[in-house]
Chains A and B, each alone.
Chain A
Amino acid sequence: MSQKTWLGYLFILPAAVLIVFFLIYPTIRTIQLSFDTGMGFTTSEFVGLDNYINLFTRDRLFFNISTWPPAGAVFNTILWLILFTFGTVGIGLLVAVLANSVRYEVLIKTIIFVPMAISFTAAGIIWRFVYSPDATTGILNALLIGLIPSADPIPWLGRTDIVNYALIAAGIWLWTGFCMVILSASLKGLPTEVLEAARVDGANAWQTFWRVTFPMLWPTILVITTTMIINVLKAFDLVYIMTQGGPRGASRIIGFSMYFETFQNGKPGYGAAIAVIMLILVTPFVVINIRRYRREERER
């Protein structure tokens, strides 16, 4: 018995060492760094809450409530949370449901899903090309001028009032396939008797969807919604590739700001404070995951 116990700990040792050294210890260090200037990537000068105070009072590219609508990375992230989450889950649901009734289901699902296989880097280049301000290369401006010949090409990624929506659209293009696949699997798992019963009772397609299918899909919708929210809270690549947070910092989101302040602006302590804010924002989802785990364990 005692030898068996000893072996079990040996089995988890490599994983435990890596997790402690590269995930747990760094997280604690980052929290420490957020109260410091963090110069040289280590604790060098304690500054108390200064980083946090500056983020919310002085940094207009992070948190700016002096304009309407409010601006900065925090509010851009909120815009992403709303539009990206609704867009991916909504279109994903639409495709999952509609494709279920057509013969080319596999084809349409593959088309929507393929962007999930490629990197955000490549996807960023694809969308930079779509948004090209030059109407001979950018399809969007070519369409605009084709429809309204008097219009001028729009620099979609160069205008502070458009850039966030343009980025969110690219994000939706990338992640809708994920939502669709999960929802489609869940849809096919629904008991057919219930749907059949609704149809026999005379409900039309619209009513069957809203009163029967949708409520039964709700748990799945919640799971992918939280996944999409976590995605936004961590997002970095697309903004980095497509706009570098610009023009004039107008498209920063918190995951990008953390990288920018730490590695490009030379303020690791300040970046660490943003990382801690990200950590706080994902904490509710940690709690949700643990609760779900406990429930599953009880059922096991």
Chain B
Amino acid sequence: MTAVSSSTTSAAAATRRGFHFSSKWIVHIVLFCLAVVWLVPSVGLLITSFRPREAISSSGWWTAFSPAQFTFENYEQVLTAQGMGDSFINSFKITIPGTLLPILIAAIAAYALAWMPIKGRDWILVVVLALLVIPIQTTLVPVLRLFNQFGLTGTYLGIWIAHTAYGLPFCIYLLRNFFISLPKELMESAKIDGANDLTIFWRIVIPLSVPALASLAIFQFMWVWNDLLVALVFMSDPVNQPMTVRIQAMLGTYATEWHIMSAASFISMAVPLVVFFALQRYFVTGLTAGAVKQ
């Protein structure tokens, strides 16, 4: 610290005013440019999704306001004729159990790993940590084979099980870390009062963990809703496909039919965007805690 300050004091003092004046402008310009680069791609596709097909192919979306020509027809067509409406429902059918099941199973296990005597607890946690990092790709083929044998491929039950298993390591890791940070005295006094572990888990630990559970639920919800790979492999049945799989299938025939692809994309984005803007705080918390996942 002292070396830093002594060698730079005089030079810095001389330029300080000028530097701050000009740097403030540079900051605004840099941030403005980044904002434009980050916004333009999505805004372009959003505007396109409301333009008639002929308009899209004859003029760029950046000219869309002169003359303004907008329509909901693309959304209507995609939701009905292209089956995005059904896929929208399918995405919910996959995602809701795919969010609740892993959290429930992980919470019970995480409580035991945090507060109950278990031999080899340390070992189990090391395995969980290792599984956090392992790519899903490593498990796909044997799980698919297992699913084929039990007739689970292409079924909701199959994909629920898959998402539950893939989500477990992260859910257990996060919840165990949270549970163990709860005050020890609380559990001990409850035990003295004669409460058993199931009561402590359900009546004390779960109510105290609502914020952590909410963050985790949102994180897992987004993860499953946005998943492509797991659904692509295990949800081969077109009737049950979620939106991500439907969109990639539509690319095969409509790759350059932007009126269709743009509307389809924004339908798939609607729910995550609502969740994001409504529950931003929880989402960011979950994501920050999840820095070790992926």
Contact = CB atoms under 8 A, between A and B. Distances in A.
B4 A211 contact: yes
A175 to B, nearest CB: 10
Given A19-B165, A111-B35, A204-B16, A11 B109 contact: yes
A136 B227 CA distance: 32
Interface in A235-294: 236-237, 240-241, 255, 258-259, 262-263, 268, 271-272, 274-276, 278-279, 282, 285-286, 289-290, 293
Given A202-B8, A233-B135, A289-B292, A125 B265 contact: yes
User: What interface size band does chain A fall in?
Assistant: 35 or more
B288 A181 contact: yes
Nearest to A22: B165
A277 B12 CA distance: 51
B229 A236 contact: yes
Interface stretch (B65-73, B78-86, B209-217, B266-274): B266-274
A9 interface: yes
Interface string A6-21: 0111011011101101
Nearest to A210: B4
A17 B291 CA distance: 26
Nearest to A108: B31
Interface string B7-26: 01110110110011001000
Contacts of A162: none
Interface residues of B, number: 117
B48 interface: yes
B41 A127 contact: yes
Contact of B139 (A22, A230, A234): A22
29 contacts: A4-B197, A5-B118, A12-B108, A16-B124, A19-B165, A19-B169, A22-B143, A22-B162, A22-B166, A41-B145, A102-B31, A117-B222, A118-B268, A125-B45, A125-B264, A127-B41, A128-B261, A129-B41, A132-B258, A136-B60, A173-B41, A182-B291, A203-B4, A204-B15, A204-B19, A204-B20, A205-B20, A223-B291, A275-B137
Given A4-B117, A22-B162, A38-B141, 15 more contacts: A4-B197, A7-B198, A11-B116, A14-B108, A19-B131, A23-B169, A94-B34, A119-B226, A119-B269, A137-B57, A142-B60, A223-B292, A275-B140, A275-B141, A276-B138
